Amino acid sequence: MATLYQPQRTKEEQPMAPKRKPPALQQKKEEVNRKAIAWTAASVIGLIIIIGALIIIANM
């Protein structure tokens, strides 16, 4: 039994593959929001400490 030669299909001839939907980013978005809140809180606390130290030094 002989196998027949089948030329490769070009991109135009190949059937369209179904496009996959991107994964839901809900969990990652929550994680990013928590990181943003943590960084914002740390920055505000840091600024309060620096301003308090400058006020104490200025009053000496």
Tens digit of pLDDT at every position of the chain (60 positions): 556 666 666 656 555 667 777 666 566 667 778 889 999 999 999 999 999 999 999 998
The pTM of this model reads 0.48
Residue 59 lies in a domain: yes
Token representation of residue 20: 């996959």
54, part of any domain: yes
Identify the pLDDT of residue 9: 63
**pLDDT at residue 31, rounded to an integer:** 72
Compute the distance between CA of residue 33 and CA of residue 39 in angstroms, rounded to an integer. 10
**For residue 30, what pLDDT is reported?**
72
Domain membership of residue 56 as a residue range:
36-60
The number of distinct structural domains making up the chain is 1
pLDDT at 13: 59
What span, in angstroms and rounded, lies between the C-alpha atoms of 5 and 10?
16
Rounded distance, CA 42 to CA 29, Å?
Answer: 20
Q: CA-CA distance, 37 to 45, in Å (whole number)? A: 12
